[in-house]
Amino acid sequence: MKIAVSACLLGHNVRYDGGDKHNRFVTHELGRYASFVPFCPEAIAFGTTRPSVKLVEKNEKILVITNEGGINLSKELLDKANEELQKIIDANLSGIIFKARSPSCGLGSAKVYQNSSLIDSSADGIFAALCREKFPLLPMEDESGLEDENRRENFIVHLFAYNSIEKLKEKNSMHSLEAFHAKNKFLLQAKDEKLYRLLKEIVLNHKKLPFAELFSSYEHNFKVAIAKKSSILLNQTIAEAYLREVELKNREKKC
């Protein structure tokens, strides 16, 4: 599977000061199961090194302003953020990991200022906001979330479950869908009992819908269900099962 990741977390020297924020959980742990698509709209827009920027609220709009000189760079960053968005749209992703508190990539954690004063507010960075709008059901987390046990385990389960439904599309058969639903029964019940019952009814197909229509409905509701949060212990158990399955398939390919 492919995960889009803020390039600095992969160890790329793209920070405003020429440094990185290498996250070894991403590269060493998730890297065993995924390939990465790096992104950094700030580096593409302004180069490395570059002036640091912040988000400033003005007339109910969020602007991108340099910390020194107060230059408005909103249009330049938004243009490059849209270019990076198109790149990851074409990558067929299973998830995104952002740099926390970044003016471009913060996931609900970018600080917002009014003039020079920090206001009691946090927001999505410019690029993160575009991603949320474009991929409302895609697993997303930032590196501070990966440091929190509950958020990390929920993200891992969400990531692997999302990837599994994407792979199911390739099989394109009712038999495969029925087997998939049976396999994920306990995950779905733990996530949302009402959605589990709805998904069960979709698979039973009392309305005799064409498979393409039926699968589209199942896929949407499955993705909504797996985005729900559940307990650490349950997520750890499910995540371990997913990882064992991936490792077994990798060994089979090598044999």
Q: Are residues 157 and 106 in the same domain?
A: no
| End position of a domain, from candidates 146, 174, 190 | 146
Tens digit of each residue's pLDDT, the chain (255 residues): 999 999 999 999 999 999 999 999 999 999 999 999 999 999 999 999 999 999 999 888 899 999 999 999 999 999 999 999 999 999 999 999 999 999 999 999 999 998 767 776 789 999 999 999 999 999 999 999 999 988 998 999 999 999 999 999 999 999 999 999 999 988 898 889 999 999 999 999 999 999 999 999 999 999 999 999 876 656 666 667 666 666 666 666 665
Q: Are residues 249 and 174 in the same domain?
A: yes
Take residue 204 and report the two structure tokens written for it. 């039973």
Domain of residue 203 covers 149-254
Q: Are residues 52 and 137 in the same domain?
A: yes
3-state secondary structure of 216: helix
Cα 137–Cα 86–Cα 131 angle in degrees, nearest 5 = 35
Q: Are residues 169 and 87 in the same domain?
A: no
Q: Are residues 29 and 125 in the same domain?
A: yes
Q: Are residues 29 and 76 in the same domain?
A: yes
Take residue 224 and report the two structure tokens written for it. 């909504």
User: What pTM did the predictor assign?
Assistant: 0.89
Residue 33, pLDDT score: 92
Number of domains comprising the chain: 2
Q: Are residues 63 and 116 in the same domain?
A: yes
Q: Specify whether the CB–CB gap between 71 and 65 falls below 8 A.
A: yes
In sequence order, what are the residues at sequence separation of 6 or more whose Cβ sits closer than 8 angstroms to the Cβ of residue 234?
190
**Phi, psi dihedral angles at 69 (to 5 degrees):** 95, -20
The C-alpha atoms of residue 92 and residue 130 are separated, in whole angstroms, by 16
DSSP code per residue over 9-61: GGT-S-STTS-----HIIIIIGGGT-EEEEE-HHHHHH-SS---EEEEEETTE
Q: Are residues 45 and 125 in the same domain?
A: yes
Q: Are residues 68 and 154 in the same domain?
A: no
| End position of a domain, from candidates 146, 181, 207 | 146
Q: Are residues 207 and 113 in the same domain?
A: no
| End position of a domain, from candidates 94, 124, 146 | 146
Q: Are residues 174 and 201 in the same domain?
A: yes
